Amino acid sequence: DVLMTQSPLFLPVTLGQPASLSCRSNESLVYSDGDTYVTWFHQRPGQSPRHLIYKVSKRGSGVPDRFSGSGSGTSFTLRISRVEAEDVGVYYCMQGTPPWTFGQGTKVDLK
C-alpha cells in the first residue's frame, strides 16, 4: 500500500498569516488515466473530516479560496493564504486510488 507521510505533525499558526502543509508519498501517485488523485481533509475537534481539496488542486464544494493545493508525483502541498480561527484542527492527505491510504495528519493550532 502507498505510504503517505505528512509534515510537520504540528504547525503553530498566526491569524492572518499563511500556512503550508506537506504530504509525500513513497511512490508516484500518477494514476493509469494520467491524473493524480490526492485529497485533503480538515477535521475540527469533535467533528468528522471535511472534504477540502481533490485531484491535488481542485477545491471542494463551498471551500474558501484561501485554501489551495499543489504538487505532483510524490510531493504535495496544502496552503492556507491567510489563516482564520476556524482553520484550526487536523489536516489529512489521502491518495485517492484503491487501496486508499491517509497521512497521519498535521495538527494546526494558534500560536
Partner 1 sequence: QVTLRESGPALVKPTQTLRLTCTFSGFSLRTSGVCIHWIRHHPGKALEWLARIDWDDDKYYNRRQRTRLTASKDTSKNQVVLTMTNVDTVDTATYYCARGGIPSEGTDFDYWGQGILVTVSS
Give the footprint of partner 1 on this chain (CB under 8 A): 1, 4, 35, 37, 39, 41, 47-51, 54-55, 58, 60-61, 92, 94, 96-105
CB 46, min distance to partner 1, A? 9
* Cα–Cα nearest to 92, from 81, 102, 80: 102
Of 54 and 76, CB closest to partner 1: 54
Alpha carbon distance, N-terminus to C-terminus of the chain: 35
φ/ψ region of 56 (left if φ > 0, alpha if ψ in -120 to 50, else beta) reads left
CB 55, min distance to partner 1, A? 6
**Exposed, middle or buried, 66 (CB in 10 Å: 0-12/13-18/19+)?**
middle
Of 68 and 101, CB closest to partner 1: 101
CB 10, min distance to partner 1, A? 13
